[in-house]
Structure 1
Amino acid sequence: MRLTPILLSLVTVSLAAPANYFDDAYDFSDELSDYYSKVSQYINRVKKSTSPSASCDTSKISLPSFASGLPAPNGTKPMYVALGRGTQNYTCADSTSASTPFAIGAVANLYNATCLAANYPDLLESLPNIAYKISLPTTEYATFPPANLELIGHHFFTSTIPEFNLDTTEAKQFGVALTKKESSLNAPSTAVKGEYGAVAWLYLSTIEGTVGNYKGVYRVNTASGSPPDTCEKMPSSFEIQYSAVYYFYGS
């Protein structure tokens, strides 16, 4: 039996993981246990299988079924899939219950989960539930545990425009998706809420200035990220840790 490179990456804890990874991740044992249980099941299947090794065939990628509440891809095809890990950012006019938090964007690292989406979508679906509690690596291009995913880009807001920059190095130029929100869907009741709740699932269309053939971006499988209901006892600006999976569709 020979494990595929994808499975090897799933069972190997990254040496570049942050120092607090083991404390934080293993305290969060239910989700991590479920993840490694699924990995073990796939390894056992590979032991008994004579089929070819898993590949990164993007034609096998599909959105999770709950995303049917968002607009359909409409003839576009999946190009990349990324695990996003970062913060949702908010401001408060004051620190009283009379004010509500106002969303001012997000900042996240994007890690390449394309092969995972093509071959092990159930594992990918469970990753945000673990990832939102894991600190980002201190070295920018380090892989992200527990699946050892490589950095593919960054998500941030330019003014009020959600941007996904997938140009990470001179050798890895995958384009830039500038987007606008078209539709949202409350996260399912099963989503990991964190302290205040999971942020909504989204469909964003691309706008002028996009580099590459991107047509739309889906944010799904969200974990945490929502603010409290009011600004009571909150600072004027604050961040909420979150994770999500982003599907990039194009022509």
Structure 2
Amino acid sequence: MRLALVLLSMVAVSAAAPSTFFNNAYEFSDELAEFYGKVSEYIDSARHDLTPSTTCDTSKISLPSFASSFPSPDGVTPMYAALGRGTQNYTCADSTSKSAPVAIGAVANLYDATCIAANYPDLMAMLPNIAYRIAMPTNEYAAFPPANLQLMGHHFFYDSTTPEFNLDTTKLKQYGIAMTKKQDQLDAPSDAAKGENGAVDWLYLTTTTGTIGKYKSVYRVNTASGSPPKTCEGLPSTFEVQYSANYYFYGN
């Protein structure tokens, strides 16, 4: 697919929708305006490029520089990149200020952003800061705005310590399953979209028994929102916090 077409798919929704639609559905913001501004610049450049790339070269995918303190993905190569949009889930022992929320996993849809990560890393980094404000599509298999990304799979917890990434979305799209465990974490950078309580950590995960496919490691980066309040005061026994993040899948 020519990169110009990849870019045009990102703005298909914006071209068709009135500004009131953005205000009501997308909370049109400075971040979203900047995103579409960059997309327009890239479209203009692609139109004048006589030899545009026709494929999404995954070898060009790299982690954000802020993740440099994580172990380097040596001996493996990037396979996919996805935008994750869902909730971080928590529990409270009681509803007083003496208790603190305890993480009990996450649930998210994963949208295929491999081509964007390979060719437009600056756009990739911007996506979570926009996406966490956008409601999940009512049709699970619908594309996710603002980049018109197609559903790639689902993220949830197999048990209390095992994040699972099931990328077998449909019979025609079987990308495997990554069963993982946490190896390292990193506080989100100061410019992350904090939501009400802050952005969740960046994570380095490695695969475990039960993995289907060549996956070896998964990185959660560019997190937006997702952190809980500091105490459980006034909160129910279980609750969710909206979040978004980019996920990079490496294997061999």
User: Is the pair's TM-score, using the shorter chain for normalization, greater than 0.5?
Assistant: yes
CA shift digits 1:183-224 (9 cap, x unpaired): 000000000000000000000000011000000000000000
| Unaligned 5+ runs, structure 1 | none
- Corresponding residue of 1:115: 115
Does 2:241 correspond to 1:240? Answer: yes
**Alpha-carbon distance change, 24 to 107 in structure 1, aligned in 2, over 3 angstroms:** farther
- Corresponding residue of 1:152: 152
Find the aligned partners of 1:65 and 1:201 in 2 and give their Cα distance: 12
Contact 1:61 1:117 in 2 (8 A): yes
CA shift digits 1:35-81 (9 cap, x unpaired): 01111111221233222235210011000100102111121100010
Find the aligned partners of 1:81 and 1:174 in 2 and give their Cα distance: 12
Find the aligned partners of 2:222 and 2:230 in 1 and give their Cα distance: 22
In the TM superposition, structure 1's runs of 4+ consecutive aligned residues that sit over 4 Å from their partners are none
**Alpha-carbon distance change, 113 to 91 in structure 1, aligned in 2, over 3 angstroms:** same
- Corresponding residue of 1:56: 56
- Corresponding residue of 1:218: 219
Contact 2:3 2:52 in 1 (8 A): no
User: Which shows bigger deviation, 239-248 or 132-141?
Assistant: 132-141
User: Which shows bigger deviation, 28-37 or 100-109?
Assistant: 28-37
Does 2:158 correspond to 1:174? Answer: no
- Corresponding residue of 1:94: 94
How many residue pairs get matched?
248
Find the aligned partners of 2:132 and 2:25 in 1 and give their Cα distance: 10
Does 2:89 correspond to 1:106? Answer: no
SS where residue 13 of structure 2 aligns? coil
Pairwise CA distance, 1:5: 1.9
Contact 1:21 1:134 in 2 (8 A): no
Pairwise CA distance, 1:141: 1.0
Does 2:202 correspond to 1:201? Answer: yes
Find the aligned partners of 2:215 and 2:14 in 1 and give their Cα distance: 31
Residue identity matched to 2:73: P
Pairwise CA distance, 1:24: 4.9
- Corresponding residue of 1:192: 193
Contact 1:56 1:115 in 2 (8 A): yes
- Corresponding residue of 1:72: 72
Find the aligned partners of 2:82 and 2:139 in 1 and give their Cα distance: 19
Find the aligned partners of 1:4 and 1:43 in 2 and give their Cα distance: 6
Residue identity matched to 1:70: F
Find the aligned partners of 1:131 and 1:21 in 2 and give their Cα distance: 16
TM-score by length of 2: 0.94
Find the aligned partners of 1:94 and 1:185 in 2 and give their Cα distance: 29
Contact 1:88 1:240 in 2 (8 A): yes
CA-based RMSD of the aligned residues comes to: 2.0
Residue identity matched to 2:98: A
Residue identity matched to 1:155: H
Find the aligned partners of 2:201 and 2:26 in 1 and give their Cα distance: 27
- Corresponding residue of 1:22: 22
Find the aligned partners of 2:213 and 2:48 in 1 and give their Cα distance: 41
Contact 1:223 1:242 in 2 (8 A): yes
Find the aligned partners of 1:43 and 1:5 in 2 and give their Cα distance: 9
Find the aligned partners of 1:123 and 1:179 in 2 and give their Cα distance: 27
TM-score by length of 1: 0.94
Does 2:47 correspond to 1:47? Answer: yes
Identity of paired residues, percent? 68
Find the aligned partners of 2:127 and 2:179 in 1 and give their Cα distance: 25
